[in-house]
Amino acid sequence: MTHRRHARSRSRRLVRPGHWHVHARVERFVEPSLLLLLRERPLHGYELLERIPELGVEGRVDIGNLYRLLRALEEEGLVQSEWSADLPGPAKRTYELTAEGRRLLDRWAEALNRAQGTITGFLERYEEGR
Amino acid sequence: MTHRRHARSRSRRLVRPGHWHVHARVERFVEPSLLLLLRERPLHGYELLERIPELGVEGRVDIGNLYRLLRALEEEGLVQSEWSADLPGPAKRTYELTAEGRRLLDRWAEALNRAQGTITGFLERYEEGR
DNA sequence: ACCACTATAGGTAAAAAACATATGTCTAAA
DNA sequence: TTTAGACATATGTTTTTTACCTATAGTGGT
């Protein structure tokens, strides 16, 4: 692969002068998203990419990072995969959740609950002083 | 300043083999936190550091990054500061929110509302399939 | 004098996210 | 029938964000 250098924007996603996108996204939210989708049934990477928006993720998910994450999760025994020769179309690697992956999902759910409490607290304090 | 290289953990904050800290933190949450605290009254950096835990932020906030963020916010006209010679103790730079900063806080509140919806959706779907 | 605490600040590394490209299969339309 | 586009997986690289570490100085107590 060849790559060139490209001029890119300065920082903080300017829209108009003095205006930025404000996102408020949860760090590494794609990880629990993948685990949750895979708990429901085995899927391959591209399907996961298509279904993640169902979970309300703002902005598109980076496909490159998604595949990298899947392989990282597999290395750690959180998901398992195999090539599905049977399915039509290009070769697909189908992932399924392991017991350990399921436990990690449970931990994510707890963490997301705590995060929700934090956000609620913030918003309450915000509303108080409007 | 001199710096040495230090051996650091591989990745993903291992606690015990196969166990990670799962955080679910909101990206750049300190920014809205500072804006909210400053809306209530002017404060200096060290006070902000002490008060941020009130907002339910897990883990300690990096003091170096906090000061950098304050200066970045000032460059962008979101906060204003001046040295407070009057106050006792070491020199303190007291920050206050500008009108523009207050508008940014409003945008953060909207974004956090959306994030909460996303998390709620995730957790509902999680509970369904338990 | 020394120590701990308050206060601000800069340097750098690691982690996470964004951006870009490569490569191949299969399907449907021109 | 070749060609365009969707499907599918993957790697390379840059930018942004967070974490870690060090520097400097005033102040108050012992």
- pLDDT tens digits, residue range B28-84? 999 999 999 999 999 999 999 999 999 988 888 999 999 999 999 999 999 999 998
Q: What is the pLDDT of residue B37?
A: 98
Question: Distance, angstroms, CA A91 to C1' C27?
Answer: 15
Spatial separation of the C-alpha atoms in residues A83 and A99, rounded to whole Å: 20
Facing residues of B72 across strands? none
Q: Which of A24, A36, A109 has its CB closest to that of B26?
A: A24
What residues in B contact A39, CB-CB < 8 Å? 129
pLDDT at B2: 34
Convert B43-77 to b/e letters by CB count within 10 Å (16 or more is b): bbbeebbeebeebbbeeebeeeebeebbeebbebe
- Residue B10 touches chain A, beta carbons under 8 Å: no
Nearest CA in chain B to A118: B56
Residues whose CB falls within 8 Å of the CB of residue A41, separated by 6 or more in sequence, listed in order: none
- Residues B24/A24, Cβ–Cβ less than 8 Å: no
Min CA distance, A104 vs chain B (Å)? Answer: 8
Cβ neighbours around A75 below 10 Å, total = 9
pLDDT at residue A87, as a whole number: 74
Q: Which residue has the tokens 């609620």?
A: A120
Residues in chain A closer than 8 A to B69 (CB atoms) = none
pLDDT digits (tens, 9 = 90+) for A103-119: 999 999 999 999 999 99
Q: List chain A residues with CB under 8 Å of B103.
A: none
- Contact flag, residue B59 CB and nucleic strand D, below 7 A: yes
Please state the rounded mean pLDDT for residues A65-74: 98
Q: How far is B129 from chain A (nearest CA, A)?
A: 7
Tell me which of A23-32, A57-66, B4-13, B25-34 is least confident: B4-13
Rounded to a whole number of angstroms, the CA Rg of chain B reads 19
pLDDT for the residue numbered A61: 95
Helix (H) or strand (E) run with residue A82 in it: strand A79-84
% pLDDT > 70, chain B? 85
Question: A83 pairs with which residues across the strands?
Answer: A93
B8 closest-nt by C1' vs CA: C14
A74-97: average pLDDT? 91
Q: Which of residues 21-80 of A touch B (CB under 8 A)?
A: 22-27, 29, 32-33, 36, 39-40, 55-58, 76-77
Contact yes or no for B22 and A105 at CB 8 A: no
Which CATH number does A30-128 carry? 1.10.10.10
Rounded Cα distance between B88 and B21, Å, is: 41
Map out the domains of chain A as residue ranges.
30-128
* A35-58 per-position pLDDT tens digit: 999 999 999 999 999 999 999 888
Q: What is the pLDDT of residue B90?
A: 80
Instruction: Return the bridge partners of A82, or none.
Output: A94
pLDDT of residue A86: 79
| pLDDT (mean) for B2-31 | 66
